[in-house]
Structure 1
Amino acid sequence: MKKRVSTIEQFEHVVKENKEFLLIKHSLTCPVSGAAFEEYEKFTEENKDVNTYYLYVQDDRPLSNYIAETCSIKHESPQVLLFKDGQVVWNASHWKITNKSLAENIKK
């Protein structure tokens, strides 16, 4: 399942309702982010049972900043965060976001 989250309230609901989920921060203007988002989309197509969410950095800046601050993870874009029990347990950015890296880390 792939779903956009764009507000702090939506994000807080996702955290409360999901024991584990992936979130990707995607820049609509960056070619590297475009490539990472394609990898993310491949992953979601092959792993429909995994809860995944995305945000658009340009449109959802307050949420992106909120996540960086509350999770103490320096903002990058593209950036993927794996949450378990409300905590970030893995993150990657730029060219490290691949279908393979997502699959390997979600299975841990």
Structure 2
Amino acid sequence: MNWVNLTSVEQLEEIKNASGYSLIFKHSTRCSISLMAKKNFEFDWDVIPSDTKLFFLDLISYRDISNHVAEVFQVTHQSPQILLIKDGECILEASHSDISAEEVAEVIAA
């Protein structure tokens, strides 16, 4: 699996309008906790169905998009943070040590 860099509002609108599952990983490049959460997530991400679109948001470089994510999906901004989107709605949000590829896979399988 590979990350798709989330770098534009247009991509965010595509995620909002897409059918199926998309995941946004909001990452701070200045935070060691965020780096650890990302590494742990990537270590286990093979449990997530391969047709799930995985988006990576560098929120230091793209703070405006990060703010837009919070607004569009009605979540409180956190870092690190994952949002699992299904058919335009955020159905799972987790941050810090609660970020889990296994939980994402379980929600998708349910």
* Residue 98 of structure 2, aligned match among 93, 96, 99: 96
Q: What displacement does 1:46 show?
A: 4.6
Instruction: Give the length in aligned residue pairs.
Output: 108
Kept after mapping to 2: 8 A contact 1:82/1:106: no
**Counterpart for residue 6 of structure 1:** 7
Identity across the alignment (%): 32
- Measure the CA separation in 2 of the matches of 1:71 and 1:50: 18
Where 2:39 maps in the other structure, the secondary structure is: helix
**Counterpart for residue 71 of structure 1:** 73
Kept after mapping to 1: 8 A contact 2:47/2:105: no
Where 2:16 maps in the other structure, the secondary structure is: helix
- Measure the CA separation in 2 of the matches of 1:104 and 1:35: 22
Q: Which amino acid aligns with 1:101?
A: E
Are 2:34 and 1:33 equivalent residues in the alignment? yes
Kept after mapping to 2: 8 A contact 1:25/1:56: yes
1:39–1:99: structure 2 CA closer, same or farther, 3 Å change rule? farther
Q: What displacement does 1:13 show?
A: 1.9
Coordinate RMSD, CA, aligned: 1.7
- Measure the CA separation in 1 of the matches of 2:106 and 2:58: 24
Are 2:51 and 1:81 equivalent residues in the alignment? no
Q: Which runs of 4+ in 1 moved over 4 A?
A: none
